[in-house]
Chains A and B, each alone.
Chain A
Amino acid sequence: NAGVTQTPKFRILKIGQSMTLQCAQDMNHNYMYWYRQDPGMGLKLIYYSVGAGITDKGEVPNGYNVSRSTTEDFPLRLELAAPSQTSVYFCASSYMGPGGAKYNEQFFGPGTRLTVL
């Protein structure tokens, strides 16, 4: 199993450009997450999904969009990139059983370092 994969590893964007960060997992996990990590800070949740076709906002969703058409993929779209979106982006996935109370470990991808100039 490859686990959680993210592409690209690095990207430099100009202000106003758009891009999609790709995330895929091959563990048949139902829950997927996007976090951002600003320099010297902890991770903050952008969006998450509890299954194909279902997404919801996290703590810092402004400037981003997501979709989840398959169990495996959870792309993150940046429209009109701004310098404030310079960050490292992590995708994660987990399996949550019925009822949602049972814990299962979140597995993280290697991250995408994005710079907006």
Chain B
Amino acid sequence: AQTVTQSQPEMSVQEAETVTLSCTYDTSESNYYLFWYKQPPSRQMILVIRQEAYKQQNATENRFSVNFQKAAKSFSLKISDSQLGDTAMYFCAFMTYNQGGKLIFGQGTELSVKP
């Protein structure tokens, strides 16, 4: 069975600084996707970034980038130039190919961006 672990329950960062959220996962599959979702106080789940396991290049989306280490089964999220609107819960998630698109989530990291 696949598992996703986020070992940082809470983190804080000063506005405009950089923060890195950690995620590790366990799987025996070779083809899969990894995601970071943001959940602000509104509860809406928002996709931040995704990574396909067969791609060696790390995904980036504006201020958000990942460090994907497939051998180590690690998938961290870096947020650059943090903004107050980045304050939210962040979830790491995993999906294998051909299994109905089911997402497996980590426990989440609560990020606070301080002015």
Interface core residue of A31, A96, A103, A110 (most chain B CB under 10 Å): A103
Contact with A along B27-54 (1 / 0, CB 8 A): 0000101000000001111010010100
Q: Tally chain B residues at the interface, Cβ within 8 Å.
A: 27
Chain A interface size, under 10 / 10 to 19 / 20 to 34 / 35 or more: 20 to 34
Which stretch in B14-22, B62-70, B100-108 binds the other chain? B100-108
CB-defined contacts of B31 to chain A, threshold 8 Å: 101
Q: Which residues of B contact A (CB under 8 A)?
A: 4, 6, 9, 31, 33, 42-45, 47, 50, 52, 91, 93, 95, 97-108
Between A and B, 21 residue pairs with Cβ closer than 8 Å are A31-B101, A40-B9, A41-B107, A42-B6, A42-B91, A42-B93, A43-B45, A43-B103, A48-B100, A56-B100, A58-B102, A59-B104, A88-B43, A99-B98, A100-B97, A100-B100, A101-B31, A101-B97, A104-B101, A108-B44, A111-B44
Q: Which residues of A contact B (CB under 8 A)?
A: 31, 33, 35, 40-45, 48, 50, 56, 58-59, 88, 90, 92, 94, 96, 99-101, 103-106, 108, 110-111
